[in-house]
């Protein structure tokens, strides 16, 4: 599969012509690349600014992120949230949590974020809240499980956003178990009568889902 699903020059053009993230997030990118394994797991500007804009439009009071990594997407979501909003982040990598918290402490939006260590499916069973906004970007084997559980917790009109739904284009010609799970998840959402969705070809694919009243 190609490194760029969209022509690289078009991808670069979109990047340059999207409002840049705040300097702290630019530093977070640089430090992730220098100090963390798998830095490509970062959401990046196009996804991050999309999340910030959707959050700013939705103004969620109760938000959830499944799969935080080093905190780029969390800070992007929190940036768009109201001052009294709360974003709960589920993460299983202690080193990534420590790294992210260092940036949360320096951000004016960091007070909105609470990190919970552990398997997200276990954490979800402990949460008693109605969600306005969720970003799913964790282990792909559980994508459909995450979606179904989060949808139960989401208020009518709330948003659920899934990342990596193109999976480097492998959803077109699936060859592995993970490929098949993502294909099944995408088909399930498209046919789900309880939601409406738009499948965006931003970076590695974003599925933006709105729970119907």
* Four-residue CA torsion sign, 114, 115, 116, 120: positive
Give the model's pLDDT for residue 41. Answer: 81
| Per-residue model confidence as pLDDT tens digits over 133-161 | 999 999 999 999 999 999 999 999 999 99
User: What's the confidence (pLDDT) of residue 5?
Assistant: 83
Amino acid 1: pLDDT: 44
Label residues 123-151 b or e (16+ Cβ within 10 Å = b): bbeeeeeebbbbbbbbbbebbbebbebbb
Q: Contact, 135 vs 159, CB < 8 A?
A: no
**Which pLDDT does position 184 carry in this prediction?**
98
Q: Are 68 and 115 in contact (CB under 8 A)?
A: yes
Nearest-CA neighbor of 164 among 142, 149, 148? 142
pLDDT of residue 3: 54
- Ranges of residues in the chain with a pLDDT under 50 are 1-2
**What is the tens place of the pLDDT at every residue in 49-81?**
999 999 999 999 999 999 999 999 999 999 999
For residue 104, the surrounding DSSP H or E stretch is helix 94-104
Cα end-to-end distance, the chain, whole Å: 39
């Amino acid at each position: 599969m190609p490194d760029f699903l969209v022509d690289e020059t078009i991808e670069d053009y979109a990047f340059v012509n999207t409002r840049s993230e705040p300097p702290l997030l630019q530093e977070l990118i640089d430090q992730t690349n220098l100090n963390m394994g798998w830095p490509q797991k970062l959401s990046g500007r196009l996804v991050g600014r999309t999340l910030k804009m959707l959050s700013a439009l939705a103004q969620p009071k109760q938000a959830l992120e499944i799969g935080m990594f080093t905190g780029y997407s969390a800070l992007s979501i929190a940036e768009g949230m109201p001052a009294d909003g709360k974003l709960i982040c589920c993460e299983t990598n202690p080193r990534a949590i420590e790294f992210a918290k260092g940036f949360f402490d320096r951000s004016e939006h960091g007070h909105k974020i609470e990190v919970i260590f552990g398997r997200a499916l276990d954490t979800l069973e402990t949460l008693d809240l109605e969600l306005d906004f969720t970003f799913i970007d964790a282990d792909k084997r559980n994508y459909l499980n995450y979606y179904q559980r989060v949808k139960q917790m989401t208020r009518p009109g709330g948003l659920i956003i899934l990342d990596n739904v193109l999976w480097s284009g492998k959803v077109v010609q699936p060859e592995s178990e993970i490929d098949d799970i993502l294909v099944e998840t995408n088909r399930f959402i498209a046919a789900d009568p309880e939601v409406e969705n738009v499948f965006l070809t931003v970076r590695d694919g974003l599925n933006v889902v709105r729970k119907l009243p």
